[in-house]
Amino acid sequence: MNKQVHSYDVEAATRRILIERGVTIEDIADIVMQMQKPYNDNVMIEDCIESVNAVLGKREMQHAILVGVELDKLAEKNMLSEPLQSIVETDEGLFGVDETIGLGAVFGYGSIAVTTYGHLDKQKVGIIKELDTKEGNGVHTFLDDLVASVAANAASRLAHRLRDREEHLAEEEIQKRDQEERIG
């Protein structure tokens, strides 16, 4: 039974799984705000929310979230084979596959996204810190890095949109750039 899954269904599943795992758009937007406020006093939380929503519209990001969270959920249910079960369940320090997936999903938004992702991975800002805590409920080995990826992408995207506004680009040109970014 090979059926193609509609992109709307994939995006809806991605958004649903974030909520189920305790992550809201606003949580991610708060991180974006923290990343952008030092560079632009005029940034508004609505801009951050819009940017997070745009990033979540990208298939590559959706796929990364769905795969990573599924692995977290399987680890919670003890359904991975050893030694992978123990590695994922404990977020083993030398296990870098979670960061690799998160990092791979930031390349579509350029060097700002890559460096921001590295910062967020190390500093554990906002909800990322809550998800990274090994003492809480659930396994979030992949989710914390994926939230960092979404936030890094959204911050980079927003930095470029803010510059577009400063340069007084026509709204049509900005929309065209947004459509080009959706590919992937």
End-to-end CA distance of the chain: 25
Query: What are the pLDDT tens digits along the chain (184 aa)?
Result: 788 999 999 999 999 999 999 999 999 999 999 999 999 998 999 999 999 999 999 999 999 999 999 999 999 999 999 999 999 999 999 999 999 999 999 998 999 999 999 999 999 999 999 998 666 679 999 999 999 999 999 999 999 999 888 888 888 888 888 777 766 5
Token output for 64 = 């990364």
DSSP letter at 4 equals P
DSSP letter at 108 equals G
* Domains (range + CATH), the chain: 7-181 (1.10.3760.10)
| pLDDT digit string, tens, across residues 46-92 | 999 999 999 999 999 999 999 999 999 999 999 999 999 999 999 99
Q: Tell me the DSSP string of 168-181.
A: T--HHHHHHHHHHH
